Structure 1
Amino acid sequence: MDSTKSSAETAINVPDEPNATKNKSGRAAFAVTTKATPLPQPQGRWNRGVSIFDFILRICALVAALAATATMGTTDQTLPFFTQFFQFQASYDDLPTFTFFVVANAIASGYLVLSLPFSIVAIVRPHVVGIKLLLLILDTVVMAFTTAAAAAAAAIVYLAHNGNSNTNWLAICQQFTDFCQRVSGAVVASFIAAAIFIFLVVLSAVALRRN
């Protein structure tokens, strides 16, 4: 009786071993596939956050460029005198540098408006590289254009405030105070737009580098 019981127990215990090995092998395979699966969520969140920040910066640059264009384009002052036939007038279009300033900031404003849909696409599809590369190239061109216009206008504003005794250029801001205040504010707004463009270029380059 004891021998039959022992043989029955061994017969029952023998088929359990392959099942145990199957379970162990199945668990090991599952663990390997779990470790090998990539987790792209943090990278996607970072790209989307950068794209959202890029969109906000473009709106800020648009406001600054529009302010510079509108302020300079509407700058005009006439000094009051006793007769209407003899008057001193200062307008932005009297100087080609200020005209170039208005045109450059108007172009920058138009470009920023057109770039907003592309920035929205970059938010929806943060892994797209072509749109970011296109914006990086165009941002660099418009940044140089805006910086050149702001620097040239700043030189004229400096002469208007301080003059130049070597060339007998008078400081007209002593008379045209309102004119000088408006053109100075326009130049500051343009430099703000140029600084935002620089930050946009750096941000786009870092985003492309991480992709």
Structure 2
Amino acid sequence: MKSGETESVETSKGIQKSGLMSRRIAILEFILRIVAFFNTIASAILMATTNETLPFFTQFIRFHAEYSDLPALTFFVVANAIVSGYLILSLPLAFVHIVKNKTQNSRILLIFLDVAMLGLVTAGASSATAIVYLAHKGNNKTNWFSICQQFNSFCERISGSLVGSFIAVVLLILLILLSAIALSRT
């Protein structure tokens, strides 16, 4: 082999390795999108179906706790539902990234949309976290008492819903980083 032929063989091997790495990143992105979808949809469903009723003195007077009583928790449900819808709709585009190598424009679009969805799900989870904290701890200075001693099931479900949403936040951050890495390799 001549020197020029050796360089071209080495160059084509480098291109093949880069293409293989991009495909692996695209597969990982696809899987992360599916996992993030299940986290956000499960969080939304768990929060939306959370309610508990407690009797007070008699059977005629009851205390009822429901997620829709608090606007921050309603925002949490809506935000997670929107993000889960986006994640399921972005799967075909993520699949195109597995099949095709030259997808810079669609990767840039997904990065922007992923950042917007990251902001939305973070805002929803953060607002719900403030309410969950008050439900657990209360605030003596403002005479807000903790309700979790009475509404155990309600508090467990809304806390579990938050965990799923914050896992989705981490997964969206990973998706953004992986998209940026794949974009820099092309």
* Cα pair 2:55 2:61 within 8 Å, conserved: no
Higher RCO structure, 1 or 2 (CA under 8 Å, sep 6+): 2
Q: Which runs of 5+ in 1 are unaligned?
A: 1-26
Choose the corresponding residue for 2:138, options 159, 163, 172: 163
Deviation by residue 1:104-150 (Cα, 9 ceiling, x = unmatched): 00000000000000000000002211111111110000001001110
Equivalent position SS for 2:98: helix
Structure 1 pair 68–175 and aligned structure 2 pair: CA distance change class (3 A) = same
After TM superposition, give the deviation of residue 32 of structure 1 in Å.
2.4
Query: If each structure's strand is expressed as a fraction of its own residues, which one has the higher value?
Result: 2
Q: 1:79 aligns with which of 54, 57, 78?
A: 54
Residue 80 of structure 1: CA displacement? 2.7
In the alignment, the residues of structure 2 paired with residue 92 and residue 126 of structure 1 have an alpha-carbon distance, to the nearest angstrom, of 45
Could you tell me how far apart the structure 1 residues matched to 2:53 and 2:130 are? 23
Could you tell me which residue of structure 1 aligns to residue 17 of structure 2? 42
What is the identity percentage for the equivalent residue pairs of Structure 1 and Structure 2? 50
Aligned to 2:98: 123
Whether the 8 Å contact between 2:50 and 2:67 is mirrored in structure 1 is yes
Question: 1:47-69: CA deviations, max 9, x gaps?
Answer: 00000000010011011101100
Aligned to 2:141, what secondary structure does the other structure show?
Answer: coil
Matched residue count: 183
Tell me how far apart the structure 1 counterparts of residues 140 and 58 of structure 2 sit (CA, whole Å).
31
Measured in 2, the distance between the counterparts of 1:142 and 1:32 equals 48
How far apart in 2 are the matches of 1:36 and 1:186? Answer: 54
- Within the alignment, does 1:179 sit opposite 2:154 as a pair? yes
Cα RMSD of the aligned pairs, angstroms, is 1.4
Does the CA-based 8 Å contact 2:27-2:98 persist in structure 1?
yes
CA-CA distance at 1:203 after TM superposition: 1.0
Matched, 1:135 2:107: no
Aligned to 2:89: 114
Structure 1 segments of 4+ aligned residues over 6 angstroms from their partners = none
State the secondary structure of the residue aligned to 2:144.
coil
**Largest Rg, 1 or 2:** 1
Code of the residue aligned with 2:145 in structure 1: it is L
- CA-to-aligned-CA distance 1:158-201 (integer Å, 9 cap, x gap): 11001000000000001000000000000111000011001111
8 Å contact kept, 1:69–1:186: yes
SS state at 1:87 partner: strand
